[in-house]
Amino acid sequence: MRKLSLLVVCALLASSPSAAGQTVEQFYKGKTINFLVAAVAGGINDLMARLISRHMGRHIPGNPGFVVQNLQSGGLVLANRMYSGAEKDGTAIAILERATPQLAVQGVSNVKFDPLKFNWLGSVSSYADDSYVLWVNAGFPAKSVADLRKPDAPPLRIGTTAAGATNGVFTMITKDVLGLHSIQNVRGYRGAAAVFLAQQRGEVDGQVVGHSAIKVGQKALYAAGAFRPLIQFARTTRSPELPDTPIGRELTKDPKALALLSFAEAPFFMALPVVAPPGLPADRAKALQDAFMAMTRDPVFVAEIRKMGQDLSPIDGEAVRRIIMQMGETPKEVIAQFNAIVGVKH
């Protein structure tokens, strides 16, 4: 038995890259890291993946190259692939849609991954300098939340995209949880840009979209004061840029409503999560995690992301794990209520 055990140990050591004398630098020298994105070119996840791919390699021993691969599948399919199908040697990473890890907590049947077993690298944004805002056209009659709560409040038509999309979720939370019953959810638009066009045509009165997204994507209209903020989400305090706009948590004292808001907003605090598969050699996982955070402090990277107008408030992989663990502590009845709003069926 002792001889057999010794043979097993020797075999395991022989198959280990570090035991074979291959350092992280030796492994990555001349290699290419495949960076997977479940989004079309031009979206925020795609833009971030391409930005990261230009800078992160400088901070990995061996300086590997990066190739961004856009997949036609959704975020859930990508997460499942990263968990069980991607290379587990450190040559595959992905940027996930922020709500994808939450799907496991919700109990979605097609989830085939445990989010706590991933090797999380971190996120370039924790939404510290951003907010998810209900914007209305400047000419809309209601000037505040108080106006929308009046018995004669005008209908507020909010343009949203696909069923279960974040903008639709917060539209329904505003209507059904915060009690702004004059809101009408107008579904079916193919993204925020299409909703902005609908606003200009008078089809809808507003939408829920990120502050940075509207500043960058609708720069001229934003500068001209074409939109007015009514409610901020994904914040625990008001944004310094929108000091007169209440956050959602100010609009209710109901503990269940507050718990639902907290659960719904949690993904924003890891807004652009980057992940590697489980089962990586420990030294390579650490090298990727260290490189990611070093990149966020790189003056060249910082200058480029600032030029893009995007929030830079990085968190590391352990912080992402803590957010996921906090989601998992949400009471089951709150998750059930959230699933009903989102339209999740088990």
Structure tokens given for 115? 């989010």
Q: Supply the pLDDT for residue 8.
A: 42
Question: Cα 252–210–332 angle (5° rounding)?
Answer: 45
> What residues make up the domain containing 166?
132-266
Domain of 226, CATH number, reads 3.40.190.10
Q: How far is CA 231 from CA 243, 311, 342, in A?
A: 11, 19, 20
Domain-terminating residue out of 221, 248, 266: 266
Residues 276 and 260 in one domain: no
For the chain, what is the domain count? Answer: 2
Residues 249 and 282 in one domain: no
Give me the DSSP letters along 271-320: -SEEEE-TT--HHHHHHHHHHHHHHHH-HHHHHHHHHHT-----EEHHHH
Q: Supply the pLDDT for residue 162.
A: 74
Domain of 294, CATH number, reads 3.40.190.150
Q: Supply the pLDDT for residue 12.
A: 42
Q: Supply the pLDDT for residue 3.
A: 45
Residues 136 and 260 in one domain: yes
> pLDDT (tens digit, 9 = 90+) per residue, 187-218?
988 888 899 999 999 999 999 999 988 887 88
Residues 96 and 31 in one domain: yes
Q: Supply the pLDDT for residue 161.
A: 86
Residues 166 and 252 in one domain: yes
Residues 252 and 317 in one domain: no
* Segment holding 228, helix H or strand E: strand 227-233
Residues 256 and 337 in one domain: no
Residues 261 and 275 in one domain: no
- 206-210 vs 132-137, strand pairing mode: antiparallel
Residues 61 and 75 in one domain: yes
- How far is it, in rounded angstroms, from Cα 341 to Cα 288? 37
Domain-terminating residue out of 208, 232, 266: 266
Instruction: Give me the residues of the chain with pLDDT under 70, please.
Output: 1-21, 163, 345-346
Give me the DSSP letters along 232-261: EES-SS--TT-TTS-BGGGG---HHHHHHH
Domain-terminating residue out of 227, 246, 266: 266
Q: Kindly report the number of other CB atoms within 10 A of residue 326's CB atom.
A: 14
Residues 138 and 178 in one domain: yes
Residues 142 and 217 in one domain: yes
Residues 280 and 320 in one domain: yes
Q: In what order do the strands lie in the sheet with 183-186?
A: 183-186, 156-159, 206-210, 132-137, 227-233
Q: CB neighbours of 241 closer than 8 A, spacing ≥ 6?
A: 211
Say if pTM beats, i.e. exceeds, 0.95.
no
